[in-house]
Chains A and B, each alone.
Chain A
Amino acid sequence: MNTYDIIIVGAGPGGSMAAKTAADLGLKTIFFERGRKPGEKNSSGCGLGPRMWKDFPSMMKELTPEKCPSMRAGSAARNYFINQEGIVAGYVMARPTESVSYEPAKSWITMNCYRSEFDPWIAEFAIDSGAELKTSTLITDLLKKDGKVCGVIDEHNNKYQAPIVIGADGAVSMVAKQSGLRTKWAQDQITIVPQYDFQASPEKIDDIMGDETLAVWWSAIFPASYQVFFHDGFHQGLGNWLNKWDKNPLYYLNRVISLKYYQRLLRILNAKPRELQSHLLPWLKYPYNTHTDGIILVGDAGGFPCPLEAEGIYPAMVTGKAAAQVAAEAITSEDCSKSFLSKYDKVWKNTSIGEEFEAGEELYNLWKALPFSPQETMSWFVPMFMEVMGGIYDWSQPHAKRVRQIASQIKFYMPKALPFIIKYVFPLVAKIFEEDLDKMMDPQKLMSVIPKVMDLIPKKKKPRRDDT
């Protein structure tokens, strides 16, 4: 029997962070990876958020192009808006704004690098701290004695013993299932995300994209699709909750690729498809069932991706660290009961992940109703938004008349936009500001006031004095 203080199933960013933290705290630590090396099985966006540099500065400063050659900073983001005819009706480029408060967040929005490089890099920290990594090893069950978890078993029936097991084994977590914490996600808690990786030369990407190396394709004909540029290629992917598909997810991803605009982009970048990937991504209003006797779940296994746009690596690292800290205390106290491990919830809720989930339900609802509802919402959102953004660049009429035409068109969309704003935007604003917004929130009042305001916009030009 192989005996350890702590066992971690999974060597992604959550598992490696847990393993590093546990080993640093002096625990005899082992972590398992089913691939031949960490990251070999993982696909994701994959943009690393600047909060990682804020929270783990000594580690992240060591992430260099020498270690991860695929690195490329997502300095500015493009937002494309695609209408129902499949035309790019417009786009907005944005870089970190004046209110962003620290470096490196002032310089870039995400740092992009492939998981096949990032995951082995972060696992190395755990190994350096003294944790043992066992690769090509599929853990298939929990080891139990008198109904109590006491370790794990691999597919060859090798047994590993420890009083506590951390499940860092992703969306389809064996640890969650075998511990009884969760058999399956509900259909509205889990998304499927297919993505293509395209190869393109670094010089072409530099010349054509400049530093606009992150993009979201907001659309009325497919769920919002992300594009993330790496040193010599890029990902194009999209997702939606499992109960939201009426056609195969790949059908919608291929709709992005076949946009006339996108085909032109592929031609000028001389980009070639290199890999097709697909993964499940938990997307919850709030994580729950995060621990039980002898078990803690971290990262995707625990349902921690961001409730707005499902950033997963940073939450995995934060919860991995928190889990190992609580586990170390439990081991010292010789109490790995569910009751003792409930401290884990207190710890992660006190981090920026906890803060993120304070408005989890409102953020989730907004995202579900807007970018992931192409037919219901984006079909009016895109033309309305573009009316505001693009309507004025027009010489078809005298400009004052154009403004009236634009106002009238916006008024046309108001019966759809107003209920949306009341249902999804106001609850979020109220939650975030936690002020008495009753007056603003009163739907009846709003519905009665806003159309009147719109009516104030004159339909016809008043006669000029010298006309009379």
Chain B
Amino acid sequence: MKTNGLTKHILGTVDFIFIDQNKCNRCGQCILVCVANLWRKIENVISISEDYKESCLECAACYQVCEADAIEFHYPSGGTGVIYEKG
């Protein structure tokens, strides 16, 4: 279990968010809506922070908002990921 400010995560998941740079149109909507502030645009390339597995709130807004269908999302491995004790 990793506590990071106001979030808790159980580590050990496989990767669960992927971005296809060939499909991405750099619109930046994923950056706009991510509550955990995990997306970056550096030199016109959009990417997710390397340690996203320890910070992602699993809302899937990035996946939902992407009209280019460049973001693939599934939930983290069973029994891992964000924990809401007071959800």
Report which A residues bind B (CB closer than 8 A).
Answer: 34-36, 39-44, 46, 70, 114-116, 135-138, 140, 154-155, 171-172, 174, 184-185, 187, 190, 192, 194, 196-197, 230, 233, 242, 245, 247-250, 273-280
Nearest 3 pairs between A and B by C-beta? A136-B79, A43-B87, A276-B6
Specify which of B32, B74, B79 is in contact with A247 (CB 8 Å cutoff): B32
Which residues of B are found within 8 Å of A35, using beta-carbon distances? 78-79, 83
Tell me which of B35, B64, B74 contacts A194 (CB under 8 A): B35
B contact patch SS: loop
Is A116 in contact with B85, judged by CB distance below 8 angstroms? Answer: yes
Residues of chain B contacted by A196 (CB below 8 angstroms): 6
Mark B37-48 against chain A: 1 for CB-CB distance below 8 A, else 0.
100000000000
- The range of chain B's interface size is 35 or more
B75 an interface residue at 8 Å Cβ cutoff? yes
Residues of A within 8 A of B36 (CB): 278
CB of A280 within 8 A of CB of B60, answer yes
Which one of A43, A136, A278 contacts B61 once the chains associate, using CB atoms below 8 Å?
A278
Q: How far is the CA of A245 from the CA of B27 in the complex (A)?
A: 14
Please give, as numbers and ranges, the residues of chain B lying within 8 Å of A39 by CB-CB distance.
84, 87
12 additional A-B residue pairs with CB within 8 Å, beyond A275-B7, A275-B8, A279-B57: A35-B83, A39-B87, A43-B84, A70-B86, A155-B77, A155-B78, A172-B60, A172-B64, A248-B33, A248-B34, A250-B35, A276-B6
Partner of A242, one of B58, B65, B81: B65
Distance between Cα atoms of A39 and B63 in the complex (Å): 22
Residues in B whose Cβ lies below 8 Å from that of A185: 64
Q: Is B73 an interface residue (CB 8 A)?
A: yes
Q: Which of B8, B75, B86 has the most CB of A within 10 A?
A: B86
Contact B82 A41 (CB under 8 A): yes
- Min Cβ gap B32→A in Å is 6
B39 CB to nearest chain A CB (Å): 11
Complex-state Cα separation, A275 to B57, whole angstroms = 11
Chain B residues with CB below 8 A from A43, complex form: 84, 87
- Choose among A36, A41, A42, A242 the residue that contacts B33 (Cβ–Cβ < 8 A): A242
* Residues 15-56 of B contacting A (Cβ, < 8 Å): 32-37
- With A115-B84, A250-B35, A280-B60 in contact, is A274–B65 under 8 Å at CB? no
Q: Are A41 and B85 in contact (CB under 8 A)?
A: no
Give the CA-CA distance A115 to B87 in the complex, in Å: 6
